[in-house]
């Protein structure tokens, strides 16, 4: 059995609601919990965003 090291536990991942940029050229996204607007604009390109679910490292 191999371990990365003893100091770091693996971060558990959870399905998380996010906003994803609708622009094909842009990879902008943000966690839904971190957006304050009901329908936020992309922080990178100001395009519309749509809801999506991604598996992301859990935040405490
Ligand atoms: Zn964008």
Domain-located, residue 2: no
Structure tokens belonging to residue 30 = 């943000």
pTM for this prediction: 0.74
Across-strand partners of 51?
19
Distance of CA 24 from the midpoint of ligand 1 (Å): 8
Mean pLDDT for the stretch of residues 43-48: 96
Distance of CA 13 from the midpoint of ligand 1 (Å): 24
Question: What percent of the chain is modeled with pLDDT above 90?
Answer: 67
Distance of CA 27 from the midpoint of ligand 1 (Å): 6
Mean pLDDT score across all residues of the chain: 88
Domain-located, residue 23: yes
Domain hosting residue 50, numbered range? 16-57
Domain-located, residue 8: no
Whether residue 52 contacts residue 29, with contact meaning beta carbons closer than 8 Å, is answered with: yes
How many structural domains compose the chain? 1
Domain-located, residue 9: no
Domain-located, residue 30: yes
| Burial group, residue 21, by CB count within 10 angstroms (0-12, 13-18, 19+) | buried
């Amino acid at each position: 059995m191999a371990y990365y090291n003893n100091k770091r536990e693996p971060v558990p991942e959870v399905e998380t609601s996010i906003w994803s940029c609708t622009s094909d050229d842009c990879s902008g996204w943000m966690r839904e919990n971190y957006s304050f607007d009901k329908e936020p604009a992309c922080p990178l390109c100001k395009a519309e965003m749509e809801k999506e679910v991604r598996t992301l490292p859990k935040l405490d």
